[in-house]
Chain A
């Protein structure tokens, strides 16, 4: 019977034809994890919308100050003379002095959002406020990112007793009410710290520095917890064991296998940290512990607008819309990133 014959069928050992070879070619490029995530992100209309909004805002805060001939702390003047009539102008209106100047053939840049009670152009103040709020938000998130990832990675990778002690510390910090501690430290720091005048820190003010310090002290804990949890679960995976079994060095294991798997968690929580920091900053500005005058932030602008709310409601509306727009787009982007990059949600 042929079934039991040891003789091989020579047909099976013929060289493959060109047609057969081409079947083995991969038709599409291999898709990396990152590319796959980006493609999914681009398919999410809300995420794309928020990326566009954020891009417009970032371009605006970079380029608008170049085109608008006013400064955020400049009290308006016409021909070198203080224009005292330019107080609380409505959007797109001119003061008497400016109108006279224009009638005589002069050029005057319109006050797109009007002016404030100290005769300053409100549009440029809102733009600078956005700049300050965004910088504060991003800087605070970077602090959280660095400390949280380092702490979580060490705790998760080392494990054992060190891990236990490090996590108890995290538990205690986690239980502290962060907002109240920020307020407390801001109150203290504004009395005991002074910066050399002229530096960026002194212009932002001690309150912002204490915000950063508190973020560095308290806010990193949830990031550290997430990174640690992620590393603990990745460490147990078979591919790590396989990599160890073939003698891969731990540096390469961390770089090639552990870090890329943590990246999604890190990116998502950083993206969601920025709006929370912007919220905190605007909240502190409200309580009177925000950036130092005359530097504006969106929170301090909105707070200052409460004074003349009845007569000039637009002064609240503009910064309020700006805060909502930024936080909304960042939140939507964060959600989109989570949908695109979280491997657990993959179907």
Chain B
């Protein structure tokens, strides 16, 4: 077990290093320095600025210096507004984290519940309704759903304010973010619940006369949860990328919308910092999911 965790941690560290490497060198391959503005600066000023931001040093040394900064929580300054990127992340990430965590929880819990209901009422109307809805939501990109929700509930019906940071405004972003993973989890939970219900130990429990709800909750549900946990990794990745779109549409000031703004503004230091930050987040999330998976199901052997 310890060996497995160690192996996974090493792999995760390598992945993060590769991401930093790709990001740094990709950004450095863009022609033109950060001080090539419309207003020409004197060569002396440019030289001074380059020296100030270590841009006069060879690229490998710049990379080392940048990585040293990143490890100390210093991502440099934004090219557009000159603010410390670390500050921007500090203030926008909690909003995204809250949004994302609510969405992940809702998607997993509701997905499992709906999937189990569909499996228990197989081929009856609850199953058909759930399957129809989950198929519909898995074929709708999050930005389409988010825009439609915005159109219907904010503009046409006026139930929610279009702009705002109040508590209530989390409802629609969470809904549009959680819809796809929820639908996917539902399908997954249904299949694995059906699978679990057809096992011999369920028949044994039924034959012994164990109460129906006890069979479902204690035997079937617990075993059907394993594939659902595996999906948590891709789900978190989906929610992180999805949040960029959803935050932009609902003008939530999270890190996702900051990333999109940085792309439109060609704010390269900001793009670099957010890429490394979000990618590391995804890798760490995946690592945790893998370890939890192993803890939950000791039957799985990776070696």
Stretch in A115-123, A154-162, A305-313 with 4+ CB within 8 Å of B = A305-313
For the complex, what is the distance from the CA of A180 to the CA of B255, rounded to whole Å?
A: 13
For the complex, what is the distance from the CA of A302 to the CA of B147, rounded to whole Å?
A: 9
List residues 1-54 of chain B with CB under 8 A from any CB of chain A: 11-12, 14-15, 18-19, 22-23, 26-27, 29-31
Stretch in A170-178, A195-203, A224-232 with 4+ CB within 8 Å of B = A170-178
**What's the A-B contact tally at a CB cutoff of 8 Å?**
114
- For B139, give its contact among A288, A299, A331 (CB under 8 Å): A331
**Interface residue? B135 (CB, 8 A):** yes
- For B141, give its contact among A179, A188, A282, A305 (CB under 8 Å): A282
For the complex, what is the distance from the CA of A275 to the CA of B138, rounded to whole Å?
A: 10
Stretch in A72-80, A144-152, A263-271, A316-324 with 4+ CB within 8 Å of B = A316-324
Closest Cβ of chain A to B269, distance in Å, is: 12
A188-B27 in contact (CB<8A): yes
**Interface residue? A102 (CB, 8 A):** no
List residues 243-261 of chain B with CB under 8 A from any CB of chain A: 244-245, 249, 259-260
For the complex, what is the distance from the CA of A106 to the CA of B202, rounded to whole Å?
A: 75
Count A interface residues, CB 8 Å: 39
Secondary structure class of chain B's binding surface, majority of residues: helix
List residues 237-296 of chain B with CB under 8 A from any CB of chain A: 237, 240-241, 244-245, 249, 259-260, 263-264, 266, 268, 271, 275, 278-279, 282-283, 286
- Kindly state the interface size class of chain B when it binds its partner: 35 or more
Closest Cβ of chain A to B216, distance in Å, is: 25
**A positions within 8 Å CB-CB of B:** 171-172, 175-177, 179-181, 183-185, 187-188, 191-192, 275, 279, 282-283, 286-289, 299, 302-303, 305-306, 309-310, 313, 316, 320, 323-324, 327-328, 331-332
Given contacts A183-B259, A302-B143, A331-B139, 14 further A-B contacts (CB under 8 A): A176-B279, A177-B283, A180-B278, A181-B22, A184-B23, A187-B268, A192-B29, A275-B139, A282-B141, A289-B263, A309-B151, A313-B151, A328-B135, A332-B135
The 7 A-B residue pairs whose C-beta atoms are closest, nearest first, are A328-B139, A327-B139, A179-B241, A177-B282, A175-B15, A191-B30, A188-B26
* Complex A-B: 6 CB contacts under 8 Å: A175-B286, A179-B237, A181-B279, A275-B139, A286-B141, A286-B143
